[in-house]
Structures are given as C-alpha cells and as structure tokens.
Homo-oligomer: A and B are copies of this chain.
Amino acid sequence: MTTAEFDALFEKVCNWGHWGPKDELGTLNYITPKRICEAAALVRKGKSVSLAIPINTVAGPDNPRPAFHYMAQAYDTPNPAGQPQFAMDYLACEFHGDCHTHIDALCHIAYKGKLYNGRPASIVSATGPSAMDITAYANGIVTRGVLLDIPRLRGVKWLEPGEADTDEELEAAETAEGVRLRDGDALVFRTGHHRRRLERGPWNNGYDGEGKAGLHSSAMAMLHERKVAAFLPDGDGETVPSNVDGVAYPIHALQICAMGMAACDSLQFEDLVAVCEEEKRWEFMVVAAPLRMPGGTGSLFNPIAIF
C-alpha cells in the first residue's frame, strides 16, 4: 500500500467528529446497553478465562523494558506476640511493549500531529495528557467478544512473522466459526503470536528484526464497516515489516488515531482457544478494565472472557 493509499484509507475510516468534538470513548460508543445485555446472555457455561500474559521481568529481544517487581516486605522475623504479619510487594513498569498485556488510551498515538478526533498532539505534555487518557475507559469494556482464530482457519500452529491477515481471511474465519462481527463487538484476533513464543522462545519482532504477523492495513476498512468497538490481538495487531510504504505502525494509526477504537495489545488466547474448541463457539462475554490511572496513555490490565 502506498502512503497515498494509506492516507485515503485513513480518511475513509476516520471517525473524527462522529460522536462530537469532546468525545473520548470513540468506538466504545458502539457498545449500547442492549449489546452489554446480549453479551451477558452468552454466559451459559459459567467459566472465565484470562486473556493476559504474565507480567514479564526478564529482558529479552522482545522485552527491552522488563518490569521491576520486588518484595517490599516478607516474613523475616516470626512474631511471637501473635500479631498478624504482612507480605507486600512493588511493581514498576513501562507497560507499552510486546511483553506486557495492556490497553492503549486514545492519546497514545499521533499521526501528522493529530490525535483522535483531530485534537492536537500538544495536549500531551511532559506531565501527561490533558484529555483522552486511559481514565476515559474507567468503566471498562463490557461487550461480546468474537475470536477469529486464523491459525485454526489455515490449519497451522501460527502465522509466521511478516504474514498479514486480510479482510477476506477474517470473513473466511467468520464463516468457519459460524459467527459474524457486528457493531459493538470486541474482535479477539489470533495469529498464534504467543503460541509461537511459547514454543520457539522470544524473538526480535521489531522493524529491525524478524517482524511479526498481524492484520493487513486494508482490513481496517472491514472493522470500520462492521463498527467493531475494540481490538484484542495477540501480538499488537501490526504486521512487521509494514505493508504500507513509509508508514510504521499503520494499524495503530488507523485504529486509534483515525477510528478511536479501543486498542489492546499483547494478549494471549491459549486458554481461550481450549474453551472455544470445547464449546464449539467463538463468541463470549468480554470484560476488560484498565487501571483507573489519571494521565495514563494506557494501562496494564487483565481482560477476562466469560462463557
């Protein structure tokens, strides 16, 4: 895709102004009360699974900013007096990156100096954003999740780095699974990124490395038409190398900046897949709540699928 084609696509999927100039919810506006109730009605088995990767404190080729986790207090000295004793810990994390399951705020990305809804990038300063931080999502994402499992469709364990999934393949996955994305849905998009990492170990998946599998930029038009509310990929959704000439991170630019779509990052679906296969259904309730962190450009979180 040329830069010009990308810019045209950006225009096409752009939701700026659609929910008013002060909107900070973006595509979460598609999740109506009705959709929330319908999502809850999918809970028929009574089982929940985590979609998060364990927090990773070990540096590696895909984890240049490992989290710091320390004990603040353990049970060093037995307490004869019978008073309760406490163990406490501490976490420090720069959480954007491929080894920390997180969600992005709408202020996380600027394209040509503009954020979602056309706001200027200058609203984000050294002390943080003055709007569109992660607290806009404080009440969580509660909606129907639809897993489109591309390796299942292709009959492979995972997509190899650099492979891009198109809208046609998304539709083929819908057909194979008997489900169809609609307005307000959370698209749970599986390339097998995490499965590959579990089996092969971490690799440099960046633009200077082996790359990663993801969505083809053109597929964002389909997500726009279907009015998808949130995007939950393993990996970060990007295909690396980029399939747009001269533009890195085109998926982020389209989904967050143009569309205002809730962008999740670096999830895992190993437990989820097992339940989907067992249940033979690929739709479920999703509840995903970021930490209520004023000024956050995103947040660590632990999204939950409920069957």
Contacts and interface: CB of A to CB of B under 8 A. Distances in A.
A170 interface: no
A297 B129 CA distance: 22
Given A72-B70, A75-B124, A93 B90 contact: yes
Interface stretch (A138-146, A156-164, A193-201): A138-146
Size category of the binding interface on chain A: 35 or more
A109 B36 CA distance: 37
A151 to B, nearest CB: 23
Contacts of A140: 48, 50, 287, 302, 304
A65 B74 contact: no
Contact of A86 (B52, B85, B109, B250): B109
A71 interface: yes
Contacts of A129: 87
B33 A47 contact: yes
Interface of A: 3, 32-37, 39-50, 52-55, 58-59, 63-66, 68-79, 81-96, 101, 107-113, 121-122, 124-129, 135, 138-140, 142, 246-250, 252-253, 257, 285, 287, 289-298, 300-304, 306
Given A289-B304, A296-B69, A253 B94 contact: no
Nearest to A121: B75
Contacts of A63: 59
A52 B64 CA distance: 23
A78 to B, nearest CB: 5
A17 to B, nearest CB: 21
Contacts of A87: 107-110, 124, 129, 297
A303 B249 CA distance: 32
B93 A247 contact: no
A84 B253 contact: yes
